[in-house]
Amino acid sequence: MLAPAVVARRRTRDDEVQDLVALLLDHADPGAGPPPEAARVAETVAVACLGDNHLWQDLQLASRAELSALMRHWFPALVDKNYHDMKWKRFLYKQLCEREEIFICKAPSCAVCADQRVCFGPET
């Protein structure tokens, strides 16, 4: 169950949720399950992105590994793109920015970025 603050945020940030859902579904594996189920998972992940915690925590999963397994099952093409194992919420928003050709990162690449620890590393 999502936190009340997340549910409330959705009312004002539904465009963002819909962009995230579209991103996820564009990378869905049609063999993973019925389309309505994929849509339900995509919406749940997208709405949880509005939370304040790590995405796996706002999805009430046991660990980041569990979230990665969920992503691999439903959205394997996104897992393939996240080959550097960026934190999932960061990765999804970075994908949205790149789609819009908005580059918010301060550094030319992650390897030389001072914010690397924010985007990568342990999520505990």
Would you tell me which residues interact with ligand SF4 (CB under 6 A)?
94, 105, 107, 110, 113, 115-116, 119
Closer Cβ to ligand SF4, 1 or 114, answer by number: 114
Q: How far is the CB of 95 from ligand SF4 (least distance, A)?
A: 10
Closer Cβ to ligand SF4, 8 or 118, answer by number: 118
Closer Cβ to ligand SF4, 41 or 78, answer by number: 78
Closest CA to 36 of 9, 3, 70, 74: 74
Q: How far is the CB of 30 from ligand SF4 (least distance, A)?
A: 29
SS (H, E, C) the chain: CCCHHHHHHHHHCHHHHHHHHHHHHHCCCCCCCCHHHHHHHHHHHHHHCCCCCCHHHHCCCCCHHHHHHHHHHHCHHHHHHCCCCCCHHHHHHHHHHHHCCCCCCCCCCHHHCCCHHHHCCCCC
Q: How far is the CB of 119 from ligand SF4 (least distance, A)?
A: 3
Q: How far is the CB of 40 from ligand SF4 (least distance, A)?
A: 29
Closer Cβ to ligand SF4, 6 or 92, answer by number: 92
